[in-house]
A and B are shown apart, each in its own frame.
Chain A
Amino acid sequence: MNVLEVKGYSLDYPTPAGFVRALDSIDLAIARGEVLGLVGESGSGKTSLAWAIMRHLPPRAREQGDISLGSQSLMAATESEIAAIRGRRIGMVFQDPSTSLNPTLTLGQQLAEVLARHRGLTRRQAWAEGEAMMARVGLKQPAAMMHRYPHEASGGEKQRVVIASAFACQPECILFDEPTTALDVVTARQILDLFAELQAETAVASLYISHDLALVSRVADHVAVLHRGRLVEHGEVDAVFDAPRDDYTRRLLAAVPRPDHRLVTGKPAAGADPLVEVERLSVHYGRTPFLSALAGRRIAQVAGNRAVSLSVQPGEILGIVGESGSGKSTLARALTGLTRFDGAVRFAGRRITGRRDMDRGYRRDVQIVFQHPDSSLNPRQRVREILSRPLTLYGGEARIEALLEQVRLPAAYAERFPHQLSGGEKQRVAIARAFASRPKLVICDEITSSLDVSVQAAVVELLVDLQRRNGTAYLFITHDLNLVRQLAHRIAVMYRGELVELLDIDDLSTTGPRHPYTRQLMDAVPPPREYKS
């Protein structure tokens, strides 16, 4: 018996230019105790499907087909029937717990209100039940947690509260919309374990929406792949991975980073002098405001980096991994003179202790690509002007068209503004700008993390190609351990501002990591399962 069933469902959104098809003849079913993984890239329509099931669509949206919960058609239900179903029979867990919880209500209030609404409990009963739920989702000190506001809890704790309120009324079905995407890897892993545990215990029918195919393969029984509003693949996890039928699924599977599938061959020449040496580099953030100093209050200085030392060989790819706030981007900012630092950087025989020491030669040889191309490309400049700057500064005969071709963009893009390009295209322009001065080191600061998997794979391939042709060294900063294992010659692991481990990629696969944090990190993200191409 299927709990949730979607039959021949199509959805069109109204736009000023007419209706746009978001979902096209979708057929899905989830049985009790089953987990269906719904995979798709941004714009594929996966979130639209979630809104359609929750009956949360813009007023003029056009629909066909049917969505039913048990024997009841959701599309035929009245508004008050839907309000009684939401939270009671279908729960939902959202992507980002820091925005899906109301900042001015305590966690307890937000959990108890669901119980009071749907289970008819009194305020006191709901509170007690909420506390029990908090304990059940693994929150320590549930009584204290009930009284906290969202800003007083960590991301993982907040997501546990969101999960608790989704499970609170023992619904038949729960939609999980990228529940771990906004969390750090280690926390994400704990949330996934909690999900598996609760899922097994309650036998709820789950729709698990994600962009991450590898992750879905671990949590789901069945997988459905959504591409431009259409289901291109649907079947058991094993079947889909062993014999993907659709071309798009195959491309998506191929794009998933696999640590054992090395993209970079060869090694930087041994014994050569290092290109860059970082010596005990520290960065401190935060200063005591004048008035607070008067008031006698001292503000703890936040350490950005604590005495980090490392070196990069010519042509080497050094991966830097760590969770958000671990200080990896701070290192990038220090190396480009965007933040003050203590300690020194040794480059081409010179000792650099601050922005003033970074001369023309250093600027030409050390380039950076930022995470968000939306912010790193000036919205009021055309691509031509953006790319012409490093050429005017550092010469070189390269033409704009050649630079664009190098990153596989058509020459006509030179006349476009950044907002006329897609995310991947913008990042290619940023990469072209960095390579225009023929640098010896390019710092890549999470440059693929805002991109879709398939776009990410193409950008990574481009980087590998550029590295092979130009012999450029990379400082490749990322939170994605699997990705960095495909690329890097050595990996530096950062944790709370400190460099905790620096290991050779060969040692990683043979002897394994030594530091407990690195081990935790690796356990959190197991390599994706193999598939037959």
Chain B
Amino acid sequence: MAELLRRLLRTPQGLLGVLIVGLILVIVVCGPSLAPYGPDTMAPRLRYRAPSAEFLLGTDQYGRDILSRLLYGARSTVILACLATALGTVAGALIGTTSAFLGGRADEAIMRTIDAILSIPSLLFALLIVNLLGKSSFSAVMAIGIAFTPGMTRVTRSVALAVTKQDYVNAAIARGERGGYIVLREMLPNVVAPIVVEMTIRVAFSVMLFATLSFLGLGAQPPSSEWGLMVAEARRFMHLSPWMILWPSLAVALVAIGFNLLGDGLRDALNPRT
């Protein structure tokens, strides 16, 4: 792990990514205790305030402190996005490896179907599933997880297939190794790295998608301080206080940039040959 971190910090993307994602993790873990006010503490006479020493990022239409709401909202935004990505990755990895393992006609049939499902844009797919499950954070997580599954299946399968063709796997087969050893010790370590990279980059996408669903009123529901929802609510008051809409928008962007950078940094760091 220490070795990985050292290699990660060597590239500018890795360094920046680690810093941003590290900051986000700190906020996710200790956000509520860092917040100066409660997320729902209203102050009717202090509405639409611009940033000041008292309210660092200003206040919203109920006089709630935006900074505090962002700090609390990090949990619902980031953790749920990670959860959704993990769901999609596990499901995709299972289907992808199975397909690569089966090979032949079964593989072709599975992958053609996966390609067909991929022709439904992720956001649309997520919308359909939210429509099925009802508006809530839980259904947004499920929706994103399911919407990510075909893409992750594709990635896993191509990585697994590339590894199967390597001679070290052939050597293991020729040596008479059992299937379990070949999959766990020879293939898995080489398959995991690219999947971890893909997953990290997808967390960025998932944060964006989750916030978008909330923005459309189909994810987190009020009075949650999920960031996408904060943007959606702030739209009506944009003319009264642009700050209300600016801060949560930037927060979403920052998280996405952080995970994108981290993913690219990991791609270099996890390559054993560099």
Direct A–B contact present (CB less than 8 angstroms): yes
Seen from chain A, the residues whose Cβ lies within 8 Å of a Cβ on chain B are 287, 289-290, 333, 336-338, 358, 360, 363-364, 366-368, 370, 372, 375-381, 389-390, 393, 417, 419, 430, 433, 437
- Interface flags for B85-104 (1: CB within 8 Å of A; 0: not) read 00000000000000000001
Known A376-B168, A378-B186; judge A368-B174 contact (CB<8 A): yes
Closest residue of chain B to A437 (Cβ to Cβ) is B175
Out of B105, B176, B190, which one reaches A378, CB within 8 Å?
Answer: B190
Complex-state Cα separation, A390 to B190, whole angstroms: 21
Among candidates A289, A338, A378, residue contacting B173 with C-beta atoms closer than 8 Å: A338
Q: Are B176 and A393 in touch, CB under 8 angstroms?
A: yes
Contact (Cβ within 8 A) B175 A419: no
Q: Which residues of B contact A289 (CB under 8 A)?
A: 108
A364–B174 Cα distance when bound, in Å, is 9
Q: In the assembly, what is the distance between CA of A452 and CA of B63, in Å?
A: 76
CB B173 to nearest CB in A, in angstroms, measures 6
Q: Indicate whether A363 sits within 8 Å of B171 (C-beta atoms), given known contacts A378-B186, A379-B272, A380-B272.
A: no
CA distance A111 to B272 in the complex (A): 42
Q: Check if B166 is an interface residue, CB within 8 A of chain A.
A: yes
27 contacts between A and B (CB under 8 A): A289-B108, A290-B105, A336-B170, A337-B173, A358-B176, A363-B175, A366-B174, A367-B175, A368-B170, A368-B171, A370-B167, A370-B171, A372-B167, A376-B166, A378-B166, A378-B190, A379-B272, A380-B189, A380-B272, A381-B185, A389-B172, A389-B175, A389-B177, A390-B175, A393-B176, A393-B177, A437-B175
B167 adjacent to A375 (CB under 8 Å): yes
Residues of B within 8 A of A337 (CB): 173-174
Q: Is the CB of A378 within 8 A of B168?
A: yes
Q: Is the CB of B174 within 8 A of A363?
A: yes
Q: Given A372-B167, A417-B272, are A336 and B174 neighbors across the interface (CB < 8 Å)?
A: yes
Set of chain B residues within 8 Å of A389, measured between Cβ atoms:
172, 175, 177
B173 pairs with A379, CB closer than 8 A? no
Contacting residue for B190 out of A338, A360, A379, CB 8 A: A379
Known A380-B189, A419-B272; judge A375-B168 contact (CB<8 A). yes
Shortest beta-carbon distance from A286 to chain B in Å: 13
* 7 more A-B residue pairs beyond the given contacts A337-B174, A358-B176, A363-B174, with a C-beta to C-beta distance below 8 A: A336-B170, A338-B174, A363-B176, A368-B171, A376-B168, A379-B273, A389-B175
Known: A289-B108, A417-B272. A376 touches B170 (CB 8 A): yes
Q: Which residue of A lies closest to B168 (CB)?
A: A378
Residues in A neighbouring B190, C-beta threshold 8 A: 378-380
Which 9 A-B pairs have CB atoms at the shortest separation, nearest pair first? Answer: A363-B176, A376-B167, A336-B174, A375-B167, A378-B168, A370-B167, A380-B189, A379-B272, A419-B273
Q: How far is the CB of B176 from chain A (nearest CB, A)?
A: 3
Chain A CB within 10 A, most for which of B170, B171, B272: B171
CB-CB contacts below 8 Å: B165-202 with A = 166-168, 170-177, 185-186, 189-190
| Among A336, A364, A433: residue with most chain B CB under 10 A | A336
Q: Are A290 and B175 touching (Cβ within 8 A)?
A: no
Taking the closest CB of chain B, its distance from the CB of A392, in whole angstroms, is 10
Cα of A286 to Cα of B177 in the assembled complex, Å: 27
Main secondary structure of the interface of B (DSSP, over half): helix
Whether A376 touches B171, Cβ cut-off 8 Å, given contacts A290-B105, A417-B272, A419-B273, is yes
Kindly state the separation between the CA atoms of A363 and B185 in the bound complex, as whole angstroms. Answer: 19
Q: In chain A, what residue has the closest Cβ to B176?
A: A363
- With beta carbons under 8 angstroms apart, the residue of B108, B168, B172, B185 that contacts A290 is B108
| 8 Å CB interface, B107-136 against A | 108
A338 in contact with B170 (CB, 8 Å): yes
Q: Which of A333, A364, A378 counts the most B-chain CB atoms under 10 A from its CB?
A: A378
Residue of A nearest to B272 (CB): A379
Closest to B178 in A: A393
- Chain B, residue nearest A332 (CB): B174
CB-CB under 8 A from A287, the residues of chain B are 104
A381 and B173 alpha carbons, distance in the complex (Å): 17
| Minimum C-beta distance from B105 to chain A (A) | 6
Contacts of B168 in A (CB 8 A): 375-378
Contact present for B170 and A370 (CB under 8 Å): yes
Q: Which of B142-178 contact A (CB under 8 A)?
A: 166-168, 170-177
Q: How far is the CA of A360 from the CA of B168 in the complex (A)?
A: 19
Determine which residue in B174, B190, B272 has the highest number of CB atoms from chain A within 10 A of its CB, and name it. Answer: B174
Chain A hits for B170, CB < 8 A: 333, 336, 338, 368, 370, 376
Q: Which residue of B lies closest to A445 (CB)?
A: B167
Is A360 in contact with B174, judged by CB distance below 8 angstroms? no
Task: Report Cα–Cα, A393/B177, bound state, in Å.
Answer: 8
A363: B residues at CB distance < 8 A: 174-176
Alpha-carbon distance between A367 and B172 when the two chains are bound, in angstroms: 10
**Cβ of A375: which chain B residues have Cβ within 8 Å of it?**
166-168
Residues of B within 8 A of A338 (CB): 170, 173-174
- Name the one of B173, B175, B273 contacting A393, with C-beta atoms under 8 angstroms: B175
**Residues of A close to B105: CB separation below 8 A:** 290
Give B179 Cβ to nearest chain A Cβ, in Å.
12
Complex: A287 Cα to B104 Cα, angstroms: 9
Task: Please report the C-alpha to C-alpha distance between residue A380 and residue B189 in the assembled complex, in whole angstroms.
Answer: 7
Whole-angstrom distance between the Cβ of A377 and the nearest chain B Cβ: 6
| Interfacial chain B residues near A393, Cβ < 8 Å | 175-177
Smallest Cβ-Cβ distance to A433: which chain B residue = B171
- B-chain residues with CB within 8 Å of residue A433 when the two chains form the complex: 171
- Cα A433 to Cα B167 with chains together (Å): 14
Give the residues in chain A near B272, CB-CB below 8 Å.
379-380, 417, 419
Q: Report B243-274 CB contacts with A as 1/0, cut-off 8 Å.
A: 00000000000000000000000000000110
User: Which chain A residues border B273 with CB–CB below 8 Å?
Assistant: 379, 419
> Within 8 Å CB of B171, what residues of A?
368, 370, 376, 430, 433
In the bound complex, how far is the Cα of B173 from the Cα of A333, in angstroms? 11
Measured between alpha carbons, how far is A233 from B4 in the docked complex, in Å? 47
A472 → B minimal CB distance (Å): 16
Shortest Cβ distance from B181 into A: residue: A389
